Amino acid sequence: MKRTALAASVLTIALSSGCSVLPKIDFTPPEPVKVITEEVKIDIYQPPLPQEIELESVKFFIINKNNYDQKVKEVEQLLGGDFAVFALMPTGYEAMAYNLQELRRFIRQQKRSFSITERLPMQQTKRKSG
């Protein structure tokens, strides 16, 4: 019983004194963390603009039963020789018109993407935190 009373007393003294028994160490707080922001220049690639297109003029002739002989002579005179034509049915002409419209749409989309990149500055700044 004496031993338990002694152990209880030592334990009580140790717990009540806490860290005061340990040697004192001077505590100096660390320096505050400095956040430095610097601008880093990055280059934005500007693709070269496509070369302008030069279109040739296309001459269409409408040949039917009523003007066949006249148009044959006109085409032979233009070709300087035998009569030769490429015929295009109305559905083929519609398909060609659709295809040209699709090309036009594609070119407009390309121009739009080029105009977006042209509006960006050649060098843009990007923030870098350190």
Averaged confidence pLDDT in the chain: 80
Quote the pTM value: 0.41
Average pLDDT on 101-121 reads 80
Residue 101: the pLDDT is 93
Domain extent listing, the chain: 44-130
At 126, the pLDDT band (50, 70, 90 cuts) reads low
Question: Residue 5 in 3-state DSSP?
Answer: helix
At 99, the pLDDT band (50, 70, 90 cuts) reads very high
Residue 102: the pLDDT is 93
C-alpha dihedral sign at 19, 25, 28, 30: negative
How far apart, in whole angstroms, are the C-alpha atoms of residue 39 and residue 124? 10
- One-letter amino acid identity for 72? V
Q: What is the per-residue pLDDT across 78-89, written as a single tens digit (0 to 9) for each?
A: 888 888 888 888
Spatial neighbors of 128 by CB under 8 A, at least 6 apart, are: 37, 38, 39, 40
